[in-house]
Structure 1
Amino acid sequence: MESHWLSMFDVTIDFDQSHLFFPRIVTTILVGLLLVIVVTRFRMIAPAIKRAGRVLVGSEGAFDHKRFFGTLALTTAYFYLMGVLSDVFPNTGYSFLIMSVIFVFLLSLLYVDHLTRRLFVILVLNALIAPALAWYVLAELFRITLP
């Protein structure tokens, strides 16, 4: 019969939650550092926050609403649709690859002022090569599980 105190050496892993371990630690550390910065530098930060609020509502300075809110919408859609697509391709990283290609291309189009044929080709190549390279390095070389 095995001793009861040896049971503390048994390791069980909840694979449904194990991937959230380090993001929770990093998020907690970053929020803590943000609080330390805000508390220690509040007098320096407060005027900038007030000015940013006035710029955001359009009462001061030039503000590109299309690019700002477009970036927020694209980023939100990127993460949401990556989760949806990961149900189609579970544990392969293809949802990361497909959504990253689309996200990089659309974000690049959003920030281009004058689109030419040459620039369009560069945007397409960048949108195909950069995410594919990141996917290969993360998924194949480092064996990191991607959505």
Structure 2
Amino acid sequence: MESNFLSLFDVAIDFEQSHLFFPRIVTWVLLIMLFIIVIRERKAILPGLSRAGKAVFSKEGDFDRFRFFGTLALTTAYFYLMYAVGRMFPNTGYGFLLMSMPFIFLLSLLFVGIKTRRNVMIIFANAVIAPGLAWYVLSQLFNITLP
């Protein structure tokens, strides 16, 4: 009888799935909030969606298709490659670290106005330092599992 009571205090962590716990909660909360916002503000949202669709698919206007679709492609590749590299180095956060650096660099190059040597060097330094610092703090200091 006593061993069953003590078994309630045993904790088993599945490291293959542990990093997905909070993202799943956040995803569901965001989806529920999106649903509520769309229902409450549908009269204001529908005309905006119509204008956005026309801007994306028409040749007129000042919509920057290269940056828009470049951002979508880079973000998709980032999440896919972060997962793939993270599986090669499980529970180390190297997927996050190694994929965040080129992602930040390429995304910043996509949106920088004037590509001078100074701007590119600042972008490069930011792309190396920011993910490295985030990885060190989250993964090494706080021992948080990253992909």
Instruction: Name the TM tier (shorter chain).
Output: 0.7 to 0.9
With the length of structure 2 as denominator, give the TM-score of the two structures: 0.86
Give the distance between the partners of 1:45 and 1:65, measured in 2 at CA: 22
TM-aligned CA deviation for residue 134 of structure 1: 1.0
The answer for the alignment partner of 1:105 in structure 2 is 105
Q: Of the two structures, which has the highest relative contact order with CA contacts closer than 8 Å and spacing of 6 or more?
A: 2
Q: Give, in angstroms, the shift of residue 45 of structure 1.
A: 1.3
Shift, 1:22, TM fit: 2.3
What does the per-residue CA deviation read over 1:51-96, in whole Å, with 9 as the maximum and x for residues that have no partner? 1111111255311111111111111111111122123322111221
Size of the aligned set, in residue pairs, is 146
2:143 is paired with a residue whose SS is coil
The residue type paired with residue 62 of structure 1 is D
Alpha-carbon deviation of 1:34?
0.9
| Change in CA separation of 1:132 and 1:17 when aligned onto 2, cut-off 3 Å | closer
Using the size of structure 1 for normalisation, the TM-score is 0.86
Letter in 2 for 1:126: N
Please, what is the CA RMSD of the aligned residues? Answer: 2.3
Unaligned runs of 5+ in 2: none
Report the CA distance between 1:30 and its aligned residue. Answer: 1.2
The residue aligned with 1:64 is 64
1:8 shift after superposition:
8.7
Q: Determine helix, strand or coil for the equivalent of 1:69.
A: helix
CA distance in structure 1 between the partners assigned to 2:93 and 2:39 by the alignment: 40
- The 8 Å contact of residues 78 and 100 in structure 1, kept in 2 or not, is answered as yes
Structure 1 unaligned residues grouped into runs of 5+: none
Rounded to whole Å, the distance in 2 between the matches of 1:129 and 1:19 is: 23
The answer for the alignment partner of 2:17 in structure 1 is 17
Per-residue deviation at 1:145? 0.9
Q: Provide the rounded CA distance (Å) in 1 between the counterparts of 2:74 and 2:87.
A: 20
